Structures are given as C-alpha cells and as structure tokens.
C-alpha cells in the first residue's frame, strides 16, 4: 500500500466526528485523573492512575502523529497555531513522572492537557482568539484606567493619610484601597470613615466608582463583544470557504468522471463503427 493510501486513511480518521468526540472524552478523562490525585488514595488506586496516565499520554502521542501524517506536507501542520499548541502540550506530557525533583513540575505541566479542549471545540477557539485579539485594545483602556487609579491614589494619600494610614499611608496602599473600592468590597466603610472628617469626600468615591466600575468596565466589555463578533464572522467565512472547496473538489471529481465516461463511450462507438465497416 502506498503512502498516499495511508495518508488518505489518516485524513479519514482525523476528520471523523466519532474520533474527535473520543479525543475530547480522553481529554476530560485525563483532567479527572489529575483531580483524583489530589485525594488520599490507596496504593492500588495510585497504581491504576499511574497506568491510566501513561495510557492517556500514549494515546495523545498517537493522535498527534495521525494528525501530522494526515497533512499533505509536514510543514503544513505547523502553519496552524492551534496545531503548534497541541504539539507543545503533547511533548510536555512526555516528560516522565518519576521521583526526581522535576516530577512535581511534570505533574503541573500535565494539567495543561485540559487546555486541548480549546483546540477541539470551535466555540472555545473563537472565545480565546477573540480574547487574544482584544488584548491590545484592552491594553490602552487599562493604561487609561491606571492613570485614573494613580491620580486618585495620590489624592487619597494627600487627603486621607492622617485619617487611616493603613488604607492611605502611601501610594501602594492607596492603590490597593482603590482596588477594594472598585470591586465594592466594603467600600462604604472606607467612605464613611473619611466622611466623618471630610463630609464631601463621598464625591471622591462616587466619581472614582463612576470611572472605574461603569466607564472602563463597559469599555472593556464593548471591546470584547466587538472582537467576538468579528471572530464569529471570520469563523463562518472559513467554514464557508471549506464547504466551497469541498463542493469544488466534488464537482471537479464529478466532471472528471463524466469526461472519462464520455471518452470511454466515444471509444466504444469508434470500435463499433470499425467492426461494422
């Protein structure tokens, strides 16, 4: 059997929905095995988990090799970011679990196998892609938010340091206090304490909450929603492109078969004409 035939079989396995669901099930099983290890277990259960862990590792290795072999060219596999992501996780999973000083690191790295769910579930891929794409835009909003935090922290230190040094003693403590206010963690206690000395200090807190909790938070949400919509449109366009390519390939194959039939029919008619003559 030629390599092309093997490659066709690998492609059939890779594109099979049942195989994909089985891989997702193994990923979930792997995550559960890691979680079970956090409990105190008898020696027999630990041995069973050890065997299962190696079985999952071998399965992931076989699965990634099948996907690599299904590509027309090996370098095409590494052109997709998600393939590189899966390949890295599988390679990390090959780190042996022994009693060495690196065993803990190897176990912690194995936790990332659950991240492979992202690459297998399109909706999760869209969410992660949207988050990564939105990070640069969110960075500017975060920078503006930091400026507001910085200004309010300095003002808070100048005004309220004598009232409560534990909350406003320096710039760092003031920033932590403002983060507490922004997350609404007992922020009224902080406000009432300063209002006992400065009755109008509520203006300081309400304006800060308006900027941090309402303006900047909604700006962040707006950016994520916008990018998410763009990623959904991109995913739909890619799916339509794949369907178009499949339809075009089927049409080309059909036209080739029809042309072959016409050629065969013409040849038979020519042979029949020769026989009659």
Per-residue model confidence as pLDDT tens digits over 181-208: 998 888 999 999 999 999 999 999 999 9
Within-domain flag for 249 = no
Q: Nearest-CA neighbor of 175 among 153, 159, 201? A: 153
Q: How many domains does the chain have?
A: 2
How high is the pLDDT of residue 158?
92
Residue 211: CATH number of its domain: 1.10.287.70
- Whether residue 107 is found in the same domain as residue 152: no
Q: Which helix (H) or strand (E) holds 37?
A: none
Can you count the helices (H) and strands (E) in the chain? Answer: 13, 0
Quick one: 175 and 69 in the same domain? no
Burial class (CB in 10 A: 0-12, 13-18, 19+), 49: middle
Please state, rounded to an integer, the average pLDDT across all residues of the chain. 82
Ramachandran category for residue 164: left, alpha or beta (phi over 0 → left; psi -120 to 50 → alpha): beta
Q: What is the pTM of this model?
A: 0.60
The alpha carbon of 181 is separated from its chain's Cα centroid by a whole number of angstroms, namely 31
| Cα–Cα distance, 134 to 70 (Å, whole number) | 33
Q: Is the pLDDT of residue 236 over 70?
A: yes
* 162 and 210 share one domain: yes
Give the residue, 232 or 140, on which the prediction is more confident: 140
pLDDT band at 34 (very low <50, low <70, confident <90, very high): confident
For 21, the domain range is: 3-120
In a domain, 137, yes or no: no
Summarised one tens digit per residue, pLDDT across range 86-115 is 888 888 777 665 555 566 666 666 677 777
User: How far is the C-alpha of 181 from the C-alpha of 204, rounded, in Å?
Assistant: 11
If asked whether residues 86 and 36 sit together in one domain, one would say yes
Question: Which residue is it, tokens 């659950």?
Answer: 114
Query: Taking residues 67-91, what's their average pLDDT?
Result: 81
What's the pLDDT tens digit per position in 58-67? Answer: 888 888 888 8
Counting Cβ atoms within 10 Å, is residue 263 exposed (0-12), middle (13-18) or buried (19+)?
exposed
Tokens 């065993």, located at residue: 103
- State phi, psi for 61 to the nearest 5 degrees: -65, -45
């Amino acid at each position: 059997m030629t390599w092309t035939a093997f490659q066709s079989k690998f492609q059939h396995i890779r594109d099979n929905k049942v195989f994909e669901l089985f891989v997702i099930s193994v990923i979930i099983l792997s995550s559960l095995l890691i979680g079970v290890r956090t409990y105190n277990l008898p020696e027999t259960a630990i041995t069973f988990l050890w065997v299962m862990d190696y079985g999952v590792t071998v399965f992931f290795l076989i699965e990634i090799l099948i996907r690599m072999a299904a590509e027309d060219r090996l370098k095409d596999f590494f052109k997709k970011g998600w393939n590189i992501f899966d390949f890295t996780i599988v390679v990390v999973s090959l780190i042996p679990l022994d009693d060495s000083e690196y065993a803990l690191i190897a176990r912690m790295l194995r936790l990332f196998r659950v991240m492979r769910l992202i690459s297998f579930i399109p909706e999760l891929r869209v969410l992660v892609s949207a988050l990564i794409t939105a990070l640069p835009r969110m960075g500017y909003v975060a920078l503006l938010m930091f400026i507001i935090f910085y200004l309010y922290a300095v003002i808070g230190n100048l005004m309220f340091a004598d009232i409560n040094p534990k909350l406003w003693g320096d710039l760092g403590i003031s920033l932590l206090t403002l983060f507490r206010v922004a997350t609404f963690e007992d922020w009224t206690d902080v406000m009432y304490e300063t209002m006992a000395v400065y009755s109008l200090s509520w203006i300081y807190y309400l304006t800060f909450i308006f900027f941090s909790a309402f303006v900047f938070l909604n700006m962040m949400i707006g950016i994520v929603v916008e990018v998410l919509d763009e990623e959904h449109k991109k995913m739909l366009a890619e799916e339509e492109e794949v369907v178009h390519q499949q339809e075009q390939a089927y049409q080309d194959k059909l036209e080739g078969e029809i042309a072959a039939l016409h050629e065969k029919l013409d040849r038979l008619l020519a042979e029949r004409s020769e026989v009659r003559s």
